[in-house]
A and B are shown apart, each in its own frame.
Chain A
Amino acid sequence: MRFWIGAAFICCTVLASAQVDLQCPWSISGIVLDEHDDASLGYATIYIKELGRGVVSDSAGRFLIIEICEGIFTLQFSHIGCESKEQSVRIRGHVNLTLHLEHHAELLETIELNARKIREAGSASRAELDSRTLLRSSGRTLGETLTHLPGVTVLQTGPTIFKPVIHGLHSNRLLILKDGLRLESQQWGLDHAPEIDPNSASKISVVKGAAAVQYGADAVAGVILVETDDLPTDQSRHGDVRVTGVNNGKQVAISASLTQGFGRGYGIRVNAGLRHAGDAHAAEYLLTNTGVSEQSIGLDAGYQKGLRNLRVSYQLFRSELGILRSAHIGSLTDLQDALARDRPLIIEDFSYRIQNPKQQVLHHTLRIAGQTHFEKLGVFTTLYAVQWNAREEFDIRRGGRDDIPALDLQLQSHTGLLSLAHGSPGHLRGKVSLHWTYQQNRNTPGTGVRPLIPNYTKYAPAVSWVEKWITDDLEIEAGLRYEYIFLDVKRIDAQNRLVKPEFDFHNVSASAGAHYSVSDAVTCFSHIGFTHRAPHVNELFSEGLHHGAAAIEEGDTNLIPEKALKWVTGTEIRHTKWQLDASIFFQHIGDFIYLRPTGEPRLTIRGAFPVFQYVQNDVRLFGAEGSLQFALSKHWGWRSEFSVLRARNISLKEDLIGLPSDRMRHTVLWNSEKSIIDAEFSIEYVWKQICVPADIDYAPPPAGYTLVHAGVGMDVIKDQLHVHLTIRNLLNASYREYLNRLRYYADDTGRSIELRLRYQF
């Protein structure tokens, strides 16, 4: 107890950034010039990202920023009609710089990039994780990291597998884009986590709004954008090493990246990550076989000159995930036995060994992207990427077949993109894009198990068009997208005959939205979007027994596309003492595809199993979320976040199953003089999910729970070495989360003490 009173010393990021350090004697001076003719650019903005402050150059393009400490800073400089740029500078004394900007009408390169530039504070429908949260999530998965954003929850399979959930929807209804490229993997599985190492990202944000439909027809819930930093164009070298140690699961995670700029626009980045954890610990017992072993490497090389650039990158992500041993069941009786127990049946001594049941996933991404600028037309972008995803799932099997995967899928995806962005002299910017996806899914023969989903080939060409009208206080956006999907399925039917059904789908998406700045501090926004989502192959063809779920799942080839209409509206208030972000959303999905028990159990040699079939009904979802943050004093701050969600099946007049319950989090923040030390203490409360349909689930939703977290961080060497200690579930509470698929078998993770070190140069 004494500890957490001590740990109640806390930080305030907002306050921290507002402080000016009088001990910092250095300055940056310089001039901003046009890249083409070296004409001086007056009234350009020069902004130091890390310090959160900046200046405007005078009419001759000269500027001076004073009171700067030693360290490495990112200078962001922009000028009306220019593409903004970033450059890193190392400060050891006074620095004089000549900054070049390309003076053209600023053009819309990509929608997401533009949104960021125009509204640096973050477009309200787009929530971004701040760098501090990112840093303090090193060694965690993408899903866990995202739960820091209100409205984002996670669908868990024990302590290892986390799938992000936005506004209650996930899997086939959520897009994940990494640097503009859509992650193509077996996302249909509820226990299939996204194959992305969040440590390699410099920025992670979520588009919850209706504007998300512009990114793809299936962005019914939203889009997760994972971005890496641009490569340096000047001569510079940066390194970043993060080491994380976690007592729970005895986890060690290391990630490192090295960025080297060679000057004249050439730069490369190499990154590598490693994560190794053993059995996690619930409050009272070990969760046997919940280890993780994860590796990632990446190489990124690029050339940039003005608006022309070329970037080639390769990423490899590999993970091996253990699934709670006691969650492996063979029949409904086994599940009922498990439900009757208050702790899992199999609890063994701690081990790093990952045994069956487990998953092994390998994801390669190779991408080539280039941009060029045509005087009359605009910015032309081309991207080609190939992704290869191999997923193997191992079950506990008889007859020495443990080493033969029960599921062995290989998904190869080729993505092509051509787009032309224009920025006309007025306030209109737009982009027309052509997308092309070719995808091949293959079951590797020899599993000895009928495949859960069949082999298929998918062709999906699409065309999209987005326009944005921007004035000082108003931003209006509209977009349209059409996608054609041709599915060529090859499967073996129950009589062992080869059948080749074919499917055509047409997806139309449209969105419109507006952001209005009522004053400098107050912004309001409203977005509306409509999209079709074609049924995924698993919804059409799923068949057979789902191990772990004790259910027989059946697809339906007569499914038609879902039609989703989403409206999000909200406000964003930035006062000097307080900040408020609040939004509400409403979504109507016609012909929503979901699994519903047929009520007629099917008899097998392992007893009777309930049969779940993919059916379609009309549903409505609505909810609200928000955060309020205010400065109590120079050193103290407070932040409150909440999210609520309700979902109804309006065809059947009942609640929808498997939606996140309401939750809130309150945080006290503290920071020392010059914010060398900061600390935070938070209480998270999750309500019991009371809105559930009757008699569908195997067990009633678990009780609500309270978790207490604390953290303290310190800059050992400013901007170079940072140390952070976090304690999650400080009181070691025993709890079960409704959205954890293993809640039938075991408690969630107990207290976790996490130590993080970050060194950068």
Chain B
Amino acid sequence: MQTIPVEVLSYVCVINSKCSINHLTTMKNLSIISLLLVLTFLGSCKTDDPVPENPEELITTLNMVFTPHGGGTSVTFQFQDLDGDGGNPPLITGGNLTAQTEYHATLVLLNESVFPIADITEEILDEAEDHQFFFQTTVLGLGTQLLHSYDDMDSNGFPIGIVNTFTTHDPASGILIVTLRHKPNKTATGIGNGDITNAGGETDIEVEFPVMIQ
């Protein structure tokens, strides 16, 4: 916090004593003092260059790792925007999932714009009561072919969505929308089952991944 520089206050005193009672005819002095005052400030202003902000809250990367329950090759969906909002466009990688398979899906959130890379997942888990992921599907009946259930819960017993199970049925393709809401109403109807309709809160993440079940 900056305060009004001492110079101002001391000049006020100078002016007051100069101009005390019947010496106001020396008003010329006042203007000279005013000018001096301005100049003093100009001289005293240091050029402090700005420093880059450390955008600690930034989430640059969302990794979603699908591992088949019985073991096998895992598939990673990735959203990556290393320079944050604006600048270069983000890179989005969806993927192919095998039909009739149960996947264990874990989310990892990173801030790769800082060094060392910050793991935002931990931050979300620390505030698990204030966060929840939602998974919606669109296009070509993917909704009925890709089913989701939460595998984790916060201290109040409500889901978070960092750890999940996805079950694929028949081949289909479409979009998987991953949403992270900050301060949702976790007690609202349907929220526990992953229905976003009544969630409220603010969107921290809203990413669309192309998915193909084959």
Q: Does B34 contact A (CB under 8 A)?
A: yes
Q: Are A333 and B87 in contact (CB under 8 A)?
A: no
Contacts of A305 in B (CB 8 A): 24
Q: Does A396 contact B (CB under 8 A)?
A: yes
Q: Does A605 contact B (CB under 8 A)?
A: yes
Contacts of B55 in A (CB 8 A): 448-450
Contacts of A368 in B (CB 8 A): 12, 15, 30, 34
Binds B, one of A198-206, A248-256, A380-388: A380-388
Contacts of B4 in A (CB 8 A): 364, 366, 386, 388
B150, chain A: closest CB distance, angstroms: 20
Given the contacts A368-B12, A397-B57, A445 and B202 also touching, CB distance less than 8 Å:
no
Q: Does A442 contact B (CB under 8 A)?
A: yes
Give the distance in Å from the alpha carbon of A370 to the alpha carbon of B54 in the complex.
Answer: 47
A540, chain B: closest CB distance, angstroms: 16
* Interfacial residues of chain B within 109-129, with CB under 8 A of chain A in the complex: 123-124, 126-127
Partner among B48, B49, B54 whose Cβ is within 8 Å of the Cβ of A448: B54
Partner among A370, A380, A384, A491 whose Cβ is within 8 Å of the Cβ of B37: A384
Q: Are A605 and B50 in contact (CB under 8 A)?
A: no
Q: Are A399 and B57 in contact (CB under 8 A)?
A: yes
Give the distance in Å from the alpha carbon of A443 to the alpha carbon of B49 in the complex.
Answer: 10
Q: Are A603 and B90 in contact (CB under 8 A)?
A: yes
Q: Which residue of B lies closest to A334 (CB)?
A: B203
From B45, B53, B183, residue with most partner A Cβ within 10 Å: B53
Q: Are A333 and B126 in contact (CB under 8 A)?
A: no
From B2, B30, B83, residue with most partner A Cβ within 10 Å: B30
Q: Are A492 and B81 in contact (CB under 8 A)?
A: no
Given the contacts A498-B49, A552-B86, A605 and B27 also touching, CB distance less than 8 Å:
no
Give the distance in Å from the alpha carbon of A410 to the alpha carbon of B2 in the complex.
Answer: 8
Q: Does A529 contact B (CB under 8 A)?
A: no
Q: Does B85 contact A (CB under 8 A)?
A: yes
A308, chain B: closest CB distance, angstroms: 5
Q: Are B35 and A416 in contact (CB under 8 A)?
A: yes
Contacts of A110 in B (CB 8 A): none
Q: Does B193 contact A (CB under 8 A)?
A: no
Q: Which residue of B lies closest to A312 (CB)?
A: B12
Given the contacts A449-B55, A543-B86, A606-B204, A384 and B38 also touching, CB distance less than 8 Å:
yes
A233, chain B: closest CB distance, angstroms: 13
Contacts of B42 in A (CB 8 A): 438
Partner among B25, B45, B59 whose Cβ is within 8 Å of the Cβ of A372: B25
Q: Are B86 and A494 in contact (CB under 8 A)?
A: yes
Give the distance in Å from the alpha carbon of A713 to the alpha carbon of B128 in the complex.
Answer: 56
Q: Are B16 and A312 in contact (CB under 8 A)?
A: yes
A285, chain B: closest CB distance, angstroms: 15
Given the contacts A308-B27, A448-B53, A396 and B45 also touching, CB distance less than 8 Å:
no
Q: Are A412 and B2 in contact (CB under 8 A)?
A: yes
Contacts of A416 in B (CB 8 A): 34-35, 37-38
Binary CB contact string for chain B from 24 to 65 against chain A (1 if under 8 A, 0 otherwise): 110110110011011001100101111111111101101000
Q: Does B147 contact A (CB under 8 A)?
A: no
Q: Are A603 and B89 in contact (CB under 8 A)?
A: yes
Q: Are B49 and A604 in contact (CB under 8 A)?
A: no
Q: Does A451 contact B (CB under 8 A)?
A: yes
Q: Are B38 and A414 in contact (CB under 8 A)?
A: yes
* Interfacial residues of chain A within 367-397, with CB under 8 A of chain B in the complex: 368, 370-372, 380, 382-384, 386, 388, 390, 396-397
Q: Are A382 and B53 in contact (CB under 8 A)?
A: no
Q: Are A382 and B31 in contact (CB under 8 A)?
A: yes
Give the distance in Å from the alpha carbon of A308 to the alpha carbon of B182 in the complex.
Answer: 62
Contacts of A545 in B (CB 8 A): 85
Given the contacts A308-B27, A372-B25, A605 and B57 also touching, CB distance less than 8 Å:
no
Q: Are B57 and A448 in contact (CB under 8 A)?
A: yes
Give the distance in Å from the alpha carbon of A607 to the alpha carbon of B207 in the complex.
Answer: 6
A489, chain B: closest CB distance, angstroms: 10
A93, chain B: closest CB distance, angstroms: 34
Give the distance in Å from the alpha carbon of A446 to the alpha carbon of B52 in the complex.
Answer: 9
Q: Does B191 contact A (CB under 8 A)?
A: no
A107, chain B: closest CB distance, angstroms: 15
B55, chain A: closest CB distance, angstroms: 6
Q: Does B140 contact A (CB under 8 A)?
A: no
Give the distance in Å from the alpha carbon of A605 to the alpha carbon of B92 in the complex.
Answer: 10
Q: Are B127 and A398 in contact (CB under 8 A)?
A: yes
Give the distance in Å from the alpha carbon of A510 to the alpha carbon of B84 in the complex.
Answer: 46
Q: Does B200 contact A (CB under 8 A)?
A: yes
* Interfacial residues of chain A within 337-359, with CB under 8 A of chain B in the complex: 345-346
Q: Are B48 and A605 in contact (CB under 8 A)?
A: no
Q: Does A172 contact B (CB under 8 A)?
A: no
Q: Does A496 contact B (CB under 8 A)?
A: yes
Contacts of A397 in B (CB 8 A): 57
Q: Are A445 and B127 in contact (CB under 8 A)?
A: no
Give the distance in Å from the alpha carbon of A418 to the alpha carbon of B35 in the complex.
Answer: 9
Binds B, one of A178-186, A323-331, A568-576, A689-697: A323-331
Contacts of A383 in B (CB 8 A): 34
Give the distance in Å from the alpha carbon of A454 to the alpha carbon of B55 in the complex.
Answer: 16
A563, chain B: closest CB distance, angstroms: 30
Known: A386-B41, A552-B85; 4 extra A-B contacts, CB below 8 A, are: A380-B31, A448-B57, A457-B45, A494-B83
What 9 A-B pairs have minimum CB-CB distances, sorted nearest first? A372-B27, A330-B202, A330-B203, A607-B206, A331-B203, A384-B34, A382-B31, A496-B52, A370-B30
Q: Give me the interface of B with A, judged by CB distance under 8 Å.
A: 1-2, 4, 8, 12, 15-16, 19, 24-25, 27-28, 30-31, 34-35, 37-38, 41-42, 45, 47-57, 59-60, 62, 79, 81, 83-87, 89-90, 123-124, 126-127, 179, 182-183, 200, 202-207
